[in-house]
Amino acid sequence: MDELIQEAARSILGSKLTIALTGAGISVESGIPDFRSRGGLWDRFDPDEYATINSFKRSPEKVWEMLREMEETIDAAETNEAHTGLAELERMGLLQTVITQNVDNLHQEAGSRDVIEYHGNSRSLTCLWCNNSYDYKEKKGEYPPRCECGKILKPDVIFFGEAIPFDAMTRSTQLASTCQVLLIIGTSAVVFPFNLLPRQAKQAGSKIIEINLEKTALTDHIIDIFLQGKASVKVSQLVSVVRELRGG
Ligand code: APR
């Protein structure tokens, strides 16, 4: 495994543009369960009933049962060494952007400055009726949170059936098709259109490094370097080898 880490570190040092794609697996060690592993969120809440925009419009109170659990877990979560490692690579000028599917804000809390939130963020809420917007702190502890117009607020996360924010989609596609190295960490890569990004990067000739507990649908097809293990362990090993090869 050390040779793989060395090879990954050398690729990053030789790259003019490196980006990272992250999913729920990068925050599992921060105490936030992922979606599709055993015991994950979709084991307990059927996404067709709790995670589509139509299910939210049909029964917002019910969807807020799941959202409340997510919010309380996110509030209790701390960044882990995978988040802080990516922020350090950015500070070293070796990582341009993190494109995350996560809505937990942990990349930003770890110090990453260029973060594209592909599936929105749970730190603000919007009224679908009068378009009022609130910081989540204004409604903390209020379940379900209501707009001053009386309607139940929706967090600014992207539900199934909603469009990916235009700027996020445009910038992510542009970066994926021009990067030289792509790190993909803690995602099953099953959700469209996010899962097009690694394929776009491959088509553009980039080297793809995957960090995951187990193989994914990508591993045997487009991954050049597979670092199997916990995100916090692999990212911190990778960053320390990068630091060593770079001479501190
Ligand atoms: N270290 C590394 N990888 C991990 C860890 C860990 N500690 N824990 C879990 N993983 C891996 C799992 O093996 C899995 O491949 O993280 C991945 C998590 O996959 P999902 O649960 O499908 O999460 P994600 O890929 O982010 O889901 C994408 O689906 O439901 C929607 O909007 C939701 O953004 C989410 C999207």
Q: Which residues contact 180 (CB under 8 A, 6 or more apart)?
A: 14, 15, 16, 17, 18, 205, 206, 207
Find out whether 115 and 98 touch, Cβ atoms under 8 Å. Answer: yes
Architecture of domain 1-32+79-119+164-248: 3-Layer(aba) Sandwich (3.40)
pLDDT score for 234? 98
96, burial (CB in 10 Å: exposed 0-12, middle 13-18, buried 19+): middle
Closest Cα to atom 34 of ligand 1: 101
Closest Cα to atom 10 of ligand 1: 25
pLDDT score for 136? 93
Q: pLDDT digit string (tens) for 187-219?
A: 999 999 999 999 999 999 999 999 999 999 999
Find out whether 138 and 121 touch, Cβ atoms under 8 Å. Answer: no
CATH fold label, 33-76+122-157: SIR2/SIRT2 'Small Domain' (3.30.1600)
Query: Catalytic site residue 221?
Result: no
Please tell me the distance between residue 25's alpha carbon and the centre of ligand 1 in angstroms. Answer: 4
Position 245 pLDDT exceeds 70? yes
Q: Average pLDDT for residues 216-236, to the nearest whole number?
A: 98
Across 44-64, b (16+ Cβ under 10 Å) vs e yields ebeeeebbbbebbeeebeebb
- Cα angle value 44/59/69 (rounded, 5°): 40
pTM attached to this predicted model: 0.97
Q: pLDDT digit string (tens) for 145-194?
A: 999 999 999 999 999 999 999 999 999 999 999 999 999 999 999 999 99
Closest Cα to atom 36 of ligand 1: 191
pLDDT score for 248? 76
Q: Which residues contact 128 (CB under 8 A, 6 or more apart)?
A: 57, 151, 154
Closest Cα to atom 7 of ligand 1: 230
The atom number, within ligand 1, closest to the CA of 158 reads 32
Position 1 pLDDT exceeds 70? no
Q: Which residues contact 244 (CB under 8 A, 6 or more apart)?
A: none
Q: pLDDT digit string (tens) for 86-141?
A: 999 999 999 999 999 999 999 999 999 999 999 999 999 999 999 999 999 999 99
pLDDT score for 173? 98
Position 60 pLDDT exceeds 70? yes
Please tell me the distance between residue 226's alpha carbon and the centre of ligand 1 in angstroms. Answer: 16
Map out the domains of the chain as residue ranges. 1-32+79-119+164-248, 33-76+122-157
Ligand 1, pocket residues at CB < 6 Å? 23-25, 28-29, 34-37, 40, 47, 101, 119, 186-188, 190-191, 212-214, 216, 230-231
Q: Give me 205's structure tokens.
A: 């000739």
Same fold, 1-32+79-119+164-248 and 33-76+122-157: no
Based on its alpha-carbon atoms, the radius of gyration of the chain, rounded to whole angstroms, reads 18
Q: pLDDT digit string (tens) for 6-27?
A: 999 999 999 999 999 999 999 9
Q: In degrees rounded to 5, what are phi and psi of residue 103?
A: -120, 20
* Residue at 154: amino acid letter: K
